[in-house]
Structure 1
Amino acid sequence: MLCPTSPHLALLALLSVAGAVGQGEPCPSKMNLIKDRLQVNCSGQGLSVVPLALPRNTGILLLSTNRLELILSHNALEVLPTLQGLPALTRLTLAHNNISELLPGAFRDVGKLTELNLRGNQLRTLPEEAFEGLAGLKDLDLSDNALEELPQGLLAGLELNTLWLSG
């Protein structure tokens, strides 16, 4: 068996340190006494992905003030969840749920959205004001819904790059 030389040991040491630094500090956790669940706080860590090394019994995960998109696909949601408190959200995926209705101005509180994916829901009609306040929206996916027509003013004020309506 070959024994690594000093330069190899130094390189291995640097790689292990670089890997540790790249992972960031572990997220602090504590029991949430009100909800009786382990709460892990990964807020403000500049994350672009959810950390993989979370405790198995995590019941509440705090991810505010990071660089994450919100993916709520495949959750059997029937109603659009309240989107307050997410003023910097730019990407929202609600694909493959059971959402059948959008309220006028449903996305007003997430005015910085650039991508919105509503693919594979149960939408039959949309209110004319559904996307009101989303002047920066560039990509909108309404594919695989039960839409029969779009209201005439639905896309007024939008400068979309992509509009998906297949299926």
Structure 2
Amino acid sequence: MNGILNLASRGLTEVPTEIFLDEIIEDENQQRPKLKTADFTQNNTDAWWNREPLKTLDLSSNSLITLPNEIETLDNLLVLIVQNNQLTSLPDSIRRLRLLEKFVLTQNQLTTLPDGLFYCSSLLYLNLSRNHLTKLSTKIGDLSYLQELDLSENDFELFPKQIGYLTKLTKLTVAKNRLRALPNEFGALYNLRSLDISHNQLTQLPDSFGDLINLEEVYANSNRLTIFPCFNQCTKLKEIHLADNQLTEITDSQLESLLSLLSLNVRGNKIRILPEQIVLLPNLERLDVTNNDLADLPSKIALNKKIKNISMIGNPLGKIRKDVIRILKYTNDLDPLASKTGVRK
């Protein structure tokens, strides 16, 4: 054993007090108590984990309603996993877990967060997904070392501007909330590589999105966006997912900086014209414009040999030239005439 205690799926309704008793025993000759809830080791010794301070505690998939205040005694913890329980609150005493780097709280019943959480200043990974949270504290900015944050499947409508203080963040997942807007300070997340804001109620994204210079993938599908977002400095962006929004156009200037783009998905919008700039994207391999209002395609699109897959079923492509169709069909993974909902003859 090496400071790791796995109590997952033990049918626990409360955290065994023996965990905390062990942490405060200082006399090496003093006998450790046995856990009465179960035998967690392969032998029946009193030392159910070794003398090394507890660094990882897994309490996932139990029936815990709360964590006791004594959790503060585990001040050497690096990893705490309590996913898939019935937690309705957290004790403010978790503020003492100053070394904690990974905290997994997904799939509980949390509606609020204690201020003490934001004193866990060593956190690198925080997962609060699948709870019932409605408000994010302005103290979120105090978690300045955070690299991954998952707030998906909650009930957030707005985020405070202090979220922009999380400048070390590389992955942010806030899918399936009720977000109506994002603060302009989002643009300060300059280390962000992966962003998932899908399945919200966003009508536009702030212009500061163009400052996310390290962004590689963005998922913004299933929102209410009417304007193609500003990505003017996002030269590392490889994947853009904007399906099922209300976009009506894409302009040349909105695409010209996307030199690394591999995949563009704008299916299920109301786009009428694709800009010629799309032909000039040097690395574009996949283009999905299914179920839009396109009547034609850029005349030179077939000349882009990088494009391997184009999906365009469900568009009134009445003006597309037959020679373009032939070239696309034989040089790309495309058969626009294969469906009754495809090109209109």
Shared fold (TM-score greater than 0.5)?
yes
1:119 Cα deviation (Å)? 0.6
Residue 238 of structure 2 is aligned with which of 73, 77, 90?
A: 90
Residues 97 and 121 in structure 1, CA contact (< 8 A), matched pair in contact too: yes
2:226 counterpart of 1:102: no
* Structure 1 residues 125 and 11, CA gap change in structure 2 (3 angstroms): farther
* Structure 1 residues 161 and 18, CA gap change in structure 2 (3 angstroms): farther
CA distance in 1 between partners of 2:223 and 2:49 (Å) = 48
Structure 1 residue aligned with 2:166: 42
Give the number of the structure whose alpha-carbon radius of gyration is greater.
2
CA distance in 2 between partners of 1:9 and 1:125 (Å) = 67
Residues 244 and 268 in structure 2, CA contact (< 8 A), matched pair in contact too: yes
Between the aligned residues of both structures, percent identity stands at 20
2:289 counterpart of 1:142: yes
* Structure 1 residues 122 and 12, CA gap change in structure 2 (3 angstroms): farther
RMSD over aligned Cα atoms = 3.3
1:94 Cα deviation (Å)? 1.4
CA distance in 2 between partners of 1:113 and 1:77 (Å) = 20
Structure 2 residue aligned with 1:75: 223
Amino acid of the structure 1 residue aligned with 2:236? A
Q: TM-score, normalised to structure 1's length?
A: 0.71
Structure 2 residue aligned with 1:55: none
Structure 1, unaligned runs of 5 or more: 31-36, 53-57
Point out the structure with the larger strand share: 1
* Structure 1 residues 114 and 44, CA gap change in structure 2 (3 angstroms): farther
Aligned positions, number? 154
Structure 1 residue aligned with 2:309: 162
Superimposed CA distance per residue, residues 32-85 of structure 1 (whole angstroms, 9 cap, x where no aligned partner):
xxxxx432133334x344379xxxxx9554432232121222332222222122
Moved more, 71-80 or 91-100: 71-80
Structure 2, unaligned runs of 5 or more: 1-35, 41-45, 58-77, 81-99, 104-123, 127-138, 143-159, 176-181, 195-216, 315-345
Structure 2 residue aligned with 1:63: 189
Residues 102 and 125 in structure 2, CA contact (< 8 A), matched pair in contact too: no
Residues 261 and 281 in structure 2, CA contact (< 8 A), matched pair in contact too: yes
Structure 2 residue aligned with 1:116: 264
CA distance in 1 between partners of 2:53 and 2:284 (Å) = 46
